[in-house]
């Protein structure tokens, strides 16, 4: 066997081993759908009630309390049983409006994130849920795990990128999806659907951008410090700026300035020309402190 052939064989074995060990892990939900679930639409009422019980005013979650309640974990599974059975892709007749379809994907994503945290509790970080070969951070949690959405087994990554971002092309989505981490947008207990979803997207965007943990101007260092979310999804924000005819020269900062408070806008104007620094992402679990 030549050296090249040997390298090819070894590489194929290693790659095959990687994909075999990291083969998808289906997380099944063994529960009935909620009682009196609507016959021709989709209800998030059960999940909303649970969030109202376990999410505080800062958007942090009482995972320990939720994990300790067998009844409430079962309620979450009942909601996810409905998510598993119905979806805009599989049962479009239940989702008459585009906003109802988007609400499904957003809330179902967040619910499965919480379900995975509870399943693996206690956790310090979602990155502690490892794949056998953790080639990239978050592989075990966001890529390897598969959850049922209307009968389709999808990873959280696939839902975010293929079902949500590719379809709806609205960067405000990044301020509603929650990855159970400290640097994520806060989780809100209200789950509006239909036309009311627009208000949630607006408020979530304004609140995120005007939180100094996500956007701030450091005049001493002459830096504009941004959440890493603006780096990871830079093109989404810039494309939105172009679609809406906003000034294109500032890129992400143009998007931010459009919804910034008066004080933040003044800070950004004073800091024109400053370098942009992206904050390290904090993957610590967004749990309530006792």
Rounded CA gap, 107 and 85, in Å?
Answer: 15
Query: Which uninterrupted H or E stretch holds 72?
Result: helix 70-85
Q: Which long-range contacts (CB under 8 A, 24 or more apart) does 93-102 make?
A: 93/40, 94/38, 94/40, 94/41, 94/42, 95/41, 95/42, 96/41, 97/194, 97/195, 98/168, 99/193, 99/194, 99/195, 99/197, 99/198, 100/41, 100/42, 100/193, 100/194, 102/164, 102/168, 102/173, 102/197
pLDDT in tens, the chain (290 residues): 576 544 443 344 334 444 444 568 898 999 999 999 999 999 999 999 999 999 999 999 999 999 999 999 999 999 999 999 999 999 999 999 999 999 999 999 999 999 999 999 999 999 999 865 766 778 899 999 999 999 999 999 999 999 999 999 999 999 999 999 999 999 999 999 999 999 999 999 999 999 999 999 999 999 999 999 999 999 999 999 988 877 666 789 999 999 999 999 999 999 998 999 999 999 999 999 86
Main-chain phi, psi angles of 131, to 5 degrees: -80, 160
Predicted confidence at residue 132, as pLDDT, reads 58
Predicted confidence at residue 15, as pLDDT, reads 43
Predicted confidence at residue 252, as pLDDT, reads 92
| Vertex 168 angle, CA 166 and 171, to 5° | 90
Domain boundaries, the chain: 20-184, 210-278
The residue behind tokens 């309530």 is 288
- Output the DSSP codes for 189-242: S----GGGHHHHHHHHHHHHHTSTTTEEEETTTTEEEE-THHHHTHHHHHHHHH
Identify the three-state secondary structure at position 280: coil
Please report how many Cα atoms fall inside a 13 Å half-sphere around the Cα of residue 26, on the Cβ side: 9
């Amino acid at each position: 066997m030549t050296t090249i052939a040997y390298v090819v064989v070894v590489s194929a074995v290693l790659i095959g081993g990687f994909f075999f060990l990291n083969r998808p892990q289906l997380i099944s939900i063994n529960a009935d759908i909620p009682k009196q679930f609507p016959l021709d639409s989709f209800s998030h009422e059960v999940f909303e009630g649970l969030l109202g019980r376990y999410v505080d005013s800062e958007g942090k979650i009482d995972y320990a309390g939720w994990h300790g309640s067998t009844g409430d974990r079962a309620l979450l599974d009942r909601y996810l049983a409905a998510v598993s059975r119905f979806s805009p892709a599989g049962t479009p007749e239940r989702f008459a409006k585009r906003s109802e379809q988007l609400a499904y994907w957003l809330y179902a994503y967040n619910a499965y994130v919480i379900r995975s945290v509870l399943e693996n509790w206690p956790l310090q970080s979602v990155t502690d849920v490892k794949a056998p070969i953790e080639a990239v951070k978050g592989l075990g949690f966001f890529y390897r795990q598969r959850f049922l959405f209307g009968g389709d087994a999808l990873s959280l990554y696939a839902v975010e990128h293929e079902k949500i971002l590719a379809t709806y092309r609205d960067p405000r989505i990044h301020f509603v999806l929650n990855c159970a981490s400290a640097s994520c947008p806060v989780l809100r207990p209200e789950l509006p659907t239909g036309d009311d979803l627009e208000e949630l997207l607006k408020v979530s965007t304004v609140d995120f951008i005007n939180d100094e943990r996500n956007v701030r101007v450091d005049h001493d260092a002459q830096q504009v410090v941004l959440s890493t979310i603006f780096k990871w999804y830079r093109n989404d924000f810039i494309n939105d700026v172009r679609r809406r005819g906003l000034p294109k020269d500032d890129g992400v900062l143009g998007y931010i300035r459009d919804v910034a408070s008066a004080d933040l806008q003044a800070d950004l104007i004073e800091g024109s020309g400053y370098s942009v620094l992206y904050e390290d992402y904090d993957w610590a679990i967004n749990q309530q402190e006792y």
